[in-house]
Amino acid sequence: MKRVAARTGLSQADADKRDSDVINQAKTALDDARKAAAKLSLWLTASLLIGAFCASLAATEGGYVRDNWNPSLTGR
């Protein structure tokens, strides 16, 4: 705090307030970043699970079509 007061020419009380304001802003920014990262990880997990579910449905349908394909229906 003394260094801030000496470099900026502020009083010790103003330097302490400025220092605590900067620390509070940094804590708030870190908390916001943590919350955003948590939300992102949840959405990514959900999207991966939905994608895996869709892929399994497509594979099941594709296997059914492969096993039950009848060339006489397509004119081949």
For 28-76, the pLDDT digits (tens) are: 999 999 999 999 999 999 999 999 999 999 999 999 888 888 777 665 5
53 lies in some domain = yes
Q: Looking at the 3D structure of the chain, how many domains does it have?
A: 1
Q: What is the pTM of this model?
A: 0.63
71 lies in some domain = no
Q: Which of 1-5, 14-18, 37-41, 64-68 shows the lowest mean pLDDT across its residues?
A: 1-5
Rounded Cα–Cα distance for residues 24 and 50 (Å): 39
Residue with tokens 């705090």: 1
58 lies in some domain = yes
69 lies in some domain = no
Rounded Cα–Cα distance for residues 56 and 43 (Å): 20
Residue 74 has a pLDDT of 62
51 lies in some domain = yes
Residue 40 has a pLDDT of 98
H helix runs in the chain, sequence order = 2-8, 12-67, 71-74
CB-neighbour burial class of residue 19 (10 A; exposed 0-12, middle 13-18, buried 19+)? middle
Domain that residue 53 falls in: 2-64
